[in-house]
Chain A
Amino acid sequence: DAGITQSPRYKITETGRQVTLMCHQTWSHSYMFWYRQDLGHGLRLIYYSAAADITDKGEVPDGYVVSRSKTENFPLTLESATRSQTSVYFCASSRITGELFFGEGSRLTVL
Chain B
Amino acid sequence: AQSVTQLGSHVSVSEGALVLLRCNYSSSVPPYLFWYVQYPNQGLQLLLKYTTGATLVKGINGFEAEFKKSETSFHLTKPSAHMSDAAEYFCAVSDPYNNNDMRFGAGTRLTVKP
| A residues neighboring B (CB under 8 Å) | 4, 31, 33, 35, 40-45, 48, 50, 56, 58, 90, 92, 94, 96-105
Contacts and interface: CB of A to CB of B under 8 A. Distances in A.
Interface stretch (B67-75, B78-86, B99-107): B99-107
A99 B106 contact: no
Interface residues of B, number: 23
A105 B42 contact: yes
Interface of B: 4, 9, 32, 34, 36, 41-46, 49, 51, 90, 94, 96, 99-100, 102, 104-107
Nearest to B107: A42
**A interface: dominant SS:** strand
B51 A97 contact: yes
Given A31-B99, A94-B99, A98-B94, A42 B42 contact: no
Contacts, number: 61
B37 to A, nearest CB: 11
B5 to A, nearest CB: 10
Contacts of A45: 100, 102
A98 B102 contact: yes
Contacts of A100: 34, 36, 44, 46, 102
Contacts of A105: 41-43
26 contacts: A31-B100, A33-B102, A35-B104, A40-B9, A40-B106, A42-B4, A42-B90, A42-B104, A42-B105, A42-B107, A44-B104, A45-B100, A48-B100, A92-B44, A96-B99, A97-B49, A98-B96, A98-B99, A98-B102, A99-B34, A100-B34, A102-B44, A104-B41, A104-B42, A105-B42, A105-B43
